Amino acid sequence: MTEKGVLRDLTTPRVVDTLYKASYDTAGIKTVDIDLHQVHYLQTIAEGWAYPLKGFMNELELLECMQMKTVSDAEGKRHLLSVPITQHVTNEQKEALAGEDRIGLTCSALGHSEVLAVINKPTFFENRKEEICTRTFGCFSTKHPKAETVMAQGEWLVSGETTDFIKEIKYNDGIDEFRLTPAQI
C-alpha cells in the first residue's frame, strides 16, 4: 500500500543535525546578555529539539503556536509545538539595537562573554505577555511559576531572518557530557 501512496512510511527516523557553525566573525556587533532560561531555549533550537524552528519564533510562528499549538516548516507541514520559544528585550535594548543588521546573544551566567548566537536582520514585535500566558497555560495568574517568568520579560520580542549558532553551549556543571544532541542519541 505504501508504493501506491495509500499509506506513508513513518518508520524512517528524522534526526536534525545541530546548527552550530565552526567559525564566525562576531567583531563589532552589539550584543544582548540573555539569562540561563533563554540559553536553554537557544540550545533547544540549535540542537534541533524544537524542529522546525531555526531561531527564536517570529510573530507569525508565535501566533500559530498560541492558536494552533503547531509551527509550520518551509513546506507548510505543521509540527506540534505548544510552548512559545521567544527572545525578549526591554525598551532600552530595542532602542540600542534598532537599525543593526546583526545582534549577538551572550550569557554572562555561563561564566564568559562569548557570543553564542547571532540573529541576522532582526525584527522586533510586541511581547503579548498576557495573551501568551492565557493561551499557553489556560489561565492568567502571576502565581503560576511560568506566567511569573513571562510577565518579568521585556516589552518586546526579537527574531530575525536567520540565526547563526556559533558556540556549543556548555554549562560546566559536571554533566555536560550527558547532554546529547538528537544526532548523538
Domains defined along the chain, listed by start: 30-168 (3.10.400.10)
- Residue environment code for 125-134, b if the CB has 16+ CB neighbours within 10 A, otherwise e: eebbbeebbe
Q: What is the pLDDT of residue 106?
A: 96
Q: Is the model's pLDDT at 30 over the cut of 90?
A: yes
Q: How far apart are CA 77 and CA 113, in angstroms?
A: 38
Q: What is the pLDDT of residue 92?
A: 98
Q: Which residues pair with 164 in a beta bridge?
A: 118
Neighbours of 106 (CB within 10 A): 19
Rounded average pLDDT over 166-185: 88
Rounded average pLDDT over 107-130: 95
For residue 8, what pLDDT band results from cuts at 50, 70 and 90?
Answer: low
Q: Which of 9-13, 154-158, 177-181 comes out lowest in average pLDDT?
A: 9-13
DSSP 8-state class, residue 88: E
Q: How far apart are CA 26 and CA 22, in angstroms?
A: 13
